[in-house]
């Protein structure tokens, strides 16, 4: 008879695995680079998050040694994921997208990727 903690940990592991796989699958399936940036930044965050929660539960409930180590990795990933996504999007814009393809900035100055900021 599986205990409640076993079921909980297995649930998080399976959810994490599915989301991680979907995130990477999105990289292959989606057609446009900008669309592909969405896949890893979202699906993978929950993937890694699920694994880390499962590991935290495992070491706390099964091994009996309280562990909050994993929160640091998830926090680190939550902070850095938007930054890397932003950098990759900017790289894509400068290399492959002409300024005319983007909508107007509706301001006096254009987008910062193409225009220098005012002094």
Partner 1 sequence: MIETALVFAMGCFGLGLLFCLWRMLRGPGLADRILALDTMVINVISLLVLYGIKEGTAVYYEAAMLVAMVGFVSTVAYCRFVLRGDIIE
Partner 2 sequence: MTARLFPHPLLSLVLVVVWLGLVNKVTPGNVLLGAILGVAVPILTSPYWPNRPRISSPLRAVEYALVVLWDIIVANVQVALIILFKPNARIHSHWITVPLELTSAEAITVLAGTITMTPGTVSVTFSADIHSILVHCLHTDDPDTVRANIKGRYEGRLKEIFE
Can residue 102 be called a binding residue for partner 1 (CB under 8 A)? Answer: no
Q: Which two tokens stand for residue 31?
A: 């057609």
Nearest to 15 by CA among 63, 39, 50, 48: 50
Q: Which two tokens stand for residue 64?
A: 């009996």
Residue linked to tokens 């959810």: 15
* Among residues 10, 11, 25, 96, the one that binds partner 2 under rule CB under 8 A: 25
**Which residues neighbour 110 within 8 Å (Cβ) at sequence distance 6 or greater?**
99
Select the binding partner of residue 112 from partner 1, partner 2, none (C-beta < 5 to 8 A, by kind): partner 2
Q: How far is the CB of 47 from partner 1 (least distance, A)?
A: 6
**Sheet strands (E) in 44-110:** none
Residues that bind partner 1 (CB under 8 A): 2, 6-7, 9-11, 13-14, 16-18, 20-21, 23-25, 27-28, 33, 36-37, 40, 44, 47-48, 51-52, 54-55, 58-59, 62-63, 67, 69-70, 72-73, 76-77, 80, 83-84, 87-92, 94-96
């Amino acid at each position: 008879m599986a205990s409640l903690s076993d079921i909980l940990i297995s649930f998080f592991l399976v959810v994490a695995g599915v989301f991680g796989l979907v995130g990477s699958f999105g990289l292959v399936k989606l057609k446009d680079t900008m669309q592909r940036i969405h896949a890893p930044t979202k699906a993978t965050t929950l993937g890694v998050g699920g694994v880390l929660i499962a590991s935290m539960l495992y070491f706390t409930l099964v091994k009996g040694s309280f562990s909050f180590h994993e929160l640091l990795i998830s926090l680190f990933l939550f902070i850095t994921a938007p930054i890397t996504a932003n950098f990759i999007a900017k790289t894509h814009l400068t290399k492959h997208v002409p300024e005319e393809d983007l909508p107007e900035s509706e301001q006096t100055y254009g987008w910062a990727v193409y225009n220098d900021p005012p002094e």
